[in-house]
Structure 1
Amino acid sequence: MNVLSTLRRLTGMNLARSTVEQAVKRRMQATGETVRKAYADQLGEAELRELVELVVVPESWLFRDPQAFAAAAAFVRQRLAEGAKVVRILSVPCAGGEEPYSMAMALCDAGVKPQSFVIDAVDISAACIARAEAGIFGRNAFRGQDLSFRERYFTCSGDDELYRINDALRARIRFGRGSILEGELGSARQYDVIFCRNLLIYFDEQTTAAAIERLSEHLSSDGMILAGYAEVPSFVRHGFSPLPHRQAFALRKDIKRPGAPARAALPAGADRTQRPAGQAAVPSGARQHPAAAPGAARPSVRPSGTAPAAPAATPPMAAAGDQSLLAHARKLADAGKPQEAAAACREFLARQPESADAYFILGVLAETAGKPGDAETHLKRCIYLQPDHYEALCHLALLQEQGGNSSAAATLKARAARAFQRQQP
């Protein structure tokens, strides 16, 4: 069995070979197997689940990016005021339950009766589902300045500082194991609200398109979807329009041309870039991936607004300073040749030292290589040269969030939201 391709298919992630090999080594040590081929040949469903858990290690917290929950709660209230009996909400992927529980609390705080909403929460990780069903969280899940919700909806278990969410809220959420790419996606045919945040950043273009199409099928025609702030351009390219909720990154199906992909312009420099593992979340609405080693997702740095190119032979190196040299660097990065891509960027910068896009590509390459310091330096230089570079703002915000600088991350997210809204037609 080809372990790499199997795990890519199961998770949808563009996993790096090194990430998978690290997981295989850990499992071989755990099982006592010493021969790599023998381990691969004997892989069964149970062992594959263990490998999936190793490449999908979530970390999240309650009310992460609270503007999204406020926007969704207001939408649900409007839905009920218009006559809906029950509003159906989907959280995919749900990690350890932080996102669906946050939504349930936001609805109760907004005066929505528990019997008026149902939340389905889905994740590919069995361990995540078990943790979510338990509804027990430690101190790390409570990171905001306003923690008053903890007093309203949790009981403390004592000296170990663990908090358990109340049973009334737990009863409104149905947890289940599943994938956004195949099998059942929740229990409802369509949902009024879908949370799918920080998942698509790990997918290649084809998988992203398939995932968005599936989400669209499960979202009602006038429903709301909440995305991660780095994912909005992908949704816009595939039939969605942004909604005017500040920093909520909410979208709806494009009503201008029903059934057709949206053609809204992307922000300048907004390449469809994938985030390397170790930064946000797969199968989790908002999670970190410390176990997914740097390089798990290969960045796509093609020019903004362009369709993915068909596979082709690597073009000959262009003349130094020519814009085609930067396009060549993008193709090298997309082809999984980071060293060659970085060299092309530096050659381009030697001729055009004020190129924001070249610094952006270098930043993404450094991110992918697990060098956050270098990535931050390049991305900051990009933003200095082009303050409204949407993708650079998103990537830098994620780096700041990973480094624990929540204040800087929030500022960058706000800038990204403003940049994207300004540049919409």
Structure 2
Amino acid sequence: MFSFFRKKEDKSFGEVKKEEPTDYSDATGIAEYFKNETGVTFDKQMNILNNKVMTFCKQRGINSFSKLLSLLDRDADIKQELIDYLTTNETFFYREFKQIEELVSLVKKDSSTVKIMCAPSSTGEEPYSIAIALLEAGVKADKFKILGIDINSDALNKAKRAVYKQRNVRNLSDEIVQRYFYKQDDKFILKDSIKSLVEFRLINIFDASFATLGKFDYIFSRNMFIYFDAQTKARAKGILQGMRKNQEQKIFFGHADEL
């Protein structure tokens, strides 16, 4: 009996596990994969992408970009983590407020309940800004529905929590902050009465399921196109145009977006 176990030990002792070589030299494959999945291009930021993805891999014990690519095809969690890692953006309330004022004016003239989409919604400042601006203009809460979408699950989780810092609310007057936020230490916590006016969904505008969201009266898509090349911008614009109830209604794009 002893010799039987001894033989098994001797056999396993001789086995040598090969370690995969470390290779973070070329992130081109990751860039192509990411563009195909999200539309976001890093053509002019390959050095930045290389460094960010290398850090991403090292934090997770992934030895090479090729290994990461193979994982992305079969591990939905890793795929979402990479999307979250590469699409983190900071925004603030009442950004490019003239467009929000224009939207408020249009909504006030509309006799029906309107549907508004923010694509992307990031951490919630924009859709919540629209809700606050509408209420401040005297529009009743039951006259509008707001949907915020994004491909970044971490950003959407933050949007749902709606806990912000001073820099996020810096464009708001003290009166508006007091009316719609609770102050806790250095945090500004949005009241539930405003949070309840916005729904958030994790979805990609290039997914076939995007069309199932229905049609919208007004669409905000600010500062998303800056991450796309010309071909992807044209494709994304066509998709958003197809989501309008009224094909004459313009889409609100960010001033930084070049179409």
Distance in structure 1 (CA, Å) of the matches to 2:211 and 2:104:
20
Kindly indicate whether the alpha-carbon contact (under 8 Å) linking 1:91 and 1:195 is maintained by their aligned counterparts in 2.
yes
Contact persistence 1:62–1:141 (CA under 8 A): yes
Greater mean deviation of Cα atoms: 6-15 or 93-102: 6-15
Matching residue within 195, 201, 208 for 2:233: 208
Q: Do residues 33 (structure 1) and 62 (structure 2) align?
A: yes
1:156–1:185 Cα change, 3 Å: farther
Q: Which residue of 1 aligns with 2:77?
A: 46
Aligned length in residues: 227
Q: Deviations over 1:87-136 (max 9, x none)?
A: 10000000100000000000000111111110000001000110001111
In 1, Cα distance between equivalents of 2:171 and 2:209? 34
Q: How does 1:115-154 map to 2 (within 5 A)?
A: 115-144=142-171, 146-154=173-181
Cα distance in 2 between the residues matched to 1:27 and 1:14? 18
Structure 1 alignment gaps of length 5 or more? 235-425
Pairing 1:219–2:244 present = yes
Aligned letter for 2:100?
Answer: F
Aligned-pair RMSD on alpha carbons?
Answer: 2.0
Relative to 1, partners in 2 of residues 1:34 and 1:21: Cα closer, same or farther, differing over 3 Å? Answer: same
> Which of 89, 95, 103 is residue 72 of structure 1 equivalent to?
103
For residue 181 of structure 1, the aligned residue among 201, 206, 211 is 206
Whole-angstrom distance in 1 between the partners of 2:211 and 2:130:
16
Q: Which amino acid aligns with 1:227?
A: F
Does the C-alpha gap of structure 1 residues 166 and 199 become closer, same or farther in structure 2, counting only changes over 3 Å? same
Ranges in structure 2 where 5+ consecutive residues have no aligned partner: 1-27
Q: For 2:249, what is the secondary structure of its paired residue?
A: strand
Amino acid at match of 2:137: A
Q: Say yes or no: does 1:8 pair with 2:35.
A: yes
* Contact 1:192-1:224 at 8 Å conserved across structures: no
Percent of aligned positions that are identical: 25
Q: Distance in 2 between matches of 1:187 and 1:141?
A: 32
Larger Rg: 2
User: Are 1:100 and 2:127 counterparts?
Assistant: yes
**Deviation of the 1:139 alpha carbon:** 0.9
Aligned 8 A contact 1:97 1:121 in 2: yes
Match of 1:229?
255
Q: Which has the higher contact order (CA 8 A, sep 6+)?
A: 2
Q: Deviations over 1:183-223 (max 9, x none)?
A: 43386421111111111122112111111111111112243
Q: Measure the CA separation in 1 of the matches of 2:172 and 2:196.
A: 27
TM-score by length of 2: 0.81
